[in-house]
Amino acid sequence: MTAPSGTPRPNAAREQPAADGSAPPPPKPWRTEGLPAGKAPEKRPRWVTAAVWMAVYLAFFGVLTLQDRVSGPQAVPYTEFKSQVAAKNVGEVFARGDSIQGALKKAAPRPGEQGGTYQQFTTERPTFAGDDLLEELAGGGATVRATPIVQHRGFLANLLISSAPLLLLVAFYVWMFRRQQGAMAGGLFGGRKQTRVDPETIRVTFDDVAGIDEVEAEINEVVDFLRDPGKYQRLGARAPKGVLLAGAPGTGKTLLARATAGEAKVPFFSASASEFIEMIVGVGASRVRELFAEARKVAPAIVFIDEIDTIGRARGGARAIGGHDEREQTLNQILTEMDGFSGHEGVVVLAATNRPDVLDPALLRPGRFDRQVIVHAPDHKGRVQILQVHTRKVPLSGDVDLEQLASATPGMTGADLANLVNEAALRAARRGETAVSQRDLTDALEKVQLGTARKVVIPEAERRRTAYHEAGHALLGMLQPGADPVRKVSIVPRGRALGVTLSTPESDRYGYDANYLRGRIIGALGGMAAEQEVFGVVTTGAESDLEMVTRIARSMVGRWGMSERIGTLSVLPSEGDPRMAGVSEALLNAVDEEIRRITDECYAEARRLLRENRGKLDAIVARLLERESLDEPEIYDAAGIARPSSAPAPVIEGAARP
C-alpha cells in the first residue's frame, strides 16, 4: 500500500523510545488495535521489578541467616563445656566477661536429644563458679585468645543487610514521585512518547455487521481509499477527512467504525469524547494532539471518537461559559487537527453521536466531517441478518424460525437483538438443554419486551380489576380499524406493572396518520375506561397509559399539524421552552385546549366501545383469570373476533402500579 504524502517513513513508525529508565507515561484515554507488527513488547510494570528485587533480598537474607545457624557456634551448657575441659578436648577459647566461645579439638556429640555433633561452641560461665578455669585450660593444652574464634561478617555487610529495607522504602517513594511527575508531564502538559499497544488478534470486518447495507455502501469508499489511495489521487480526489455516524443507541455505530478499520487493515484508535475532558483547562487539547500524533505515525489509520456531542456542542449561546473553558479548547483542537495548518494526511476520523442536532456547525462543514451517515434501526430483512450473525456460534434446534422472530421484534436495534439471543442462550443453559429452541427465544423476547415476572400474591379483587384493565386495552386494540394485532395479554406481574398488553405490527411502518394515532390513544385509554365502566373507579394503574396518551396528543397538536385550530405550525420544540422560540401564551393555551379536546373525545369513544361490547370484554376477562396469560390466537378466540391480516407499529401498554 502506498502511503499518502505527509506520512512518516515506515522505519520511523517502528522506532522505539530510548530506555532512559524514566517512569512510563500515564495510560492514554484511547484504545488501539491493528498496529503494524514489529513493535517492541510492552515493558514489565515497575511493581513487578520491585517485587523481584524484594524476593531476591529476602532469599539472600534467609540464606545468610541459615548459614549462621548451621555453621556458627553451638550454644552448650556450662557443664558440657567443663566436661570437655576435663577431657582435654578444648583447643581454643575466647572469653569476654562471662561469655565464652571456643573450638574443640575433635567434634563431640551435642548434649541432650538434639543429635549430631558440634565443634565450635559458645557458653556462659555462672558468676558463682569458683573453679580455676584458666589453670584447667592450660593443663589441657588449650589456647586462650583475646580475639573471637568465629569471625563475624564485616561492617559493610552488616550495614548493607540492616539498611536494605530502608533503601527499598526510599526507592519506592522515589519511584512514586517520578511516576507522579510523569503523570503531570504526560497527562496535563503534553506528553512524552507513547508506548504502543500490541494489536488485537481479532479484527472486526463487515461480515460481523448486518442489517445496515446502505450504510456499509456509503462507508465503503473510505475503506477503498485506505486500501488503494493512489487510484483516487491520480484523479485529484481526496479521502473524506471525517465521517459522522448518527443514530439511536444500539444501532451499531461503534461496531461499524471497527469494521471499517478491519476491512481496510489499518490501525484503529478509539476513544470516548468524555475521556478527553478534565478539570484543568488544556488537558483535553493536549490529549487530542497526542492522539492524532500517534495516528499520523502509523498512517494510514482511523481515529474513532465516540459520543462526540460531549465536546462538540455548538459554541456560544445562552449556556456558553466563555471562549477559554476546557470543553471549547478541546473542540478547537479537534477542529485544528481535522482541517488546520498541521494536516493529518492518511488519518480518517470517524465519530458517533445520537445527537447530531447539537453539534457545532464548524465541526460539520465540508473539510472536517465531509459525510454524515444516518444509522437507522434495522428493518425486517436487516433484523433477520442480524439474528443470523448473532446465532452463528449458538447451537439452534430445528424448530427455530428467525423470520418469525424478526417479525415479532419491530423497532429493535442490533444491540437489542444481541441481548435477545444471549437471554435465550442463558435460558436454555439453565434448563440443561444442548441447543436453543424457539421456545427459549420466545420466552426471552417476552422477558425483554414485557419484563421479568414477579412472584407476588395479589388479592383476588385487585387481580380481577387488573384483568379488566388489560382486557380493555386488548379489546379496543382489536376493535380499532387498522390497529396493530394484539400479540399477548398477561396479568402476571412484570417489572412495575401488574399486567401487560403487547401489540406489534405485521410489517415495519415509518409514518402514521391522524386516524391511526387517535386509535393508539383510544387503545391506551382502554384500561382506564374499563375500570370506570365496570367498577366506577379510576386507579393508579393508568399512570403509564396517561403518559403515553399525553405524549402522542401533544405531538399531534404541537408538532405534526394534526389540529385544525392550531393549523400547520410547529409550536412545541423537541426540547426546551417554546416561549424562548417566540411562541405566545395564547397559542400555548390553544394547544393545551386542543390536547384536552382530543383526549376527552378518545376517552368517550373508548367507554362507548366497551359498553357496546361488554360481553366480549367479560369473555376475555374470564379467560384471563383462568389462564393468566393469553397468546394471540387465544385472545381473538375468547373475544370472538376475526384476526386481521395485516397492520403497522408496536405499542406496549401496561397497568403500572406504585
Active site residues: 470
Q: How many residues does the chain have?
A: 658
Q: Are strands 99-109 and 90-96 parallel, antiparallel or unpaired?
A: antiparallel
Check if the beta carbon of residue 652 is closer than 8 Å to that of residue 473: no
Q: How many CB atoms lie within 10 A of CB 477?
A: 27
Would you call 559 exposed, middle or buried from its count of C-beta atoms within 10 A (0-12, 13-18, 19+)?
middle
CA atoms in the 13 A half-sphere facing the CB of 442: 10
- In 262-336, which ranges are E strands? 268-272, 301-306
For 291, the grid coordinates are 492522539
Beta bridge partner(s), residue 359:
313
Amino acid at 349: V
Tell me how far apart the alpha carbons of residues 298 and 353 are, in angstroms, rounded to a whole number: 26
Cβ-proximal residues to 294 (8 Å cutoff; 6+ apart), any chain: 32, 194, 196, 269
Q: How many CB atoms lie within 10 A of CB 36?
A: 14
Check if the beta carbon of residue 67 is closer than 8 Å to that of residue 122: no
Cβ-proximal residues to 655 (8 Å cutoff; 6+ apart), any chain: 466, 469, 470, 497, 498, 499, 500, 527, 541, 542, 545
Cβ-proximal residues to 105 (8 Å cutoff; 6+ apart), any chain: 89, 90, 91
Of 225, 219, 287, the C-alpha closest to 253 is 219
Tell me how far apart the alpha carbons of residues 322 and 414 are, in angstroms, rounded to a whole number: 40
Tell me how far apart the alpha carbons of residues 644 and 614 are, in angstroms, rounded to a whole number: 21
Of 631, 643, 596, the C-alpha closest to 477 is 643
Tell me how far apart the alpha carbons of residues 312 and 652 are, in angstroms, rounded to a whole number: 35
Check if the beta carbon of residue 523 is closer than 8 Å to that of residue 473: yes
Q: Using omega within 30 degrees of 0 as the cis cutoff, is the peptide bond preceding 361 cis? A: no
Task: Give the DSSP per-residue string, 365-383.
Answer: STTTS-EEEEEPPP-HHHH
Going from the C-alpha of 379 to that of each of 255, 438, 482, 507, the distances in angstroms are 18, 21, 20, 9
Tell me how far apart the alpha carbons of residues 162 and 242 are, in angstroms, rounded to a whole number: 63
For 197, the grid coordinates are 499497544
Q: How many CB atoms lie within 10 A of CB 348?
A: 26
Q: How many CB atoms lie within 10 A of CB 204?
A: 20
Cβ-proximal residues to 2 (8 Å cutoff; 6+ apart), any chain: 229, 230
Of 270, 238, 242, the C-alpha closest to 254 is 270
Give me the sheet containing 497-503, strands edge to edge: 629-631, 486-490, 497-503, 651-656
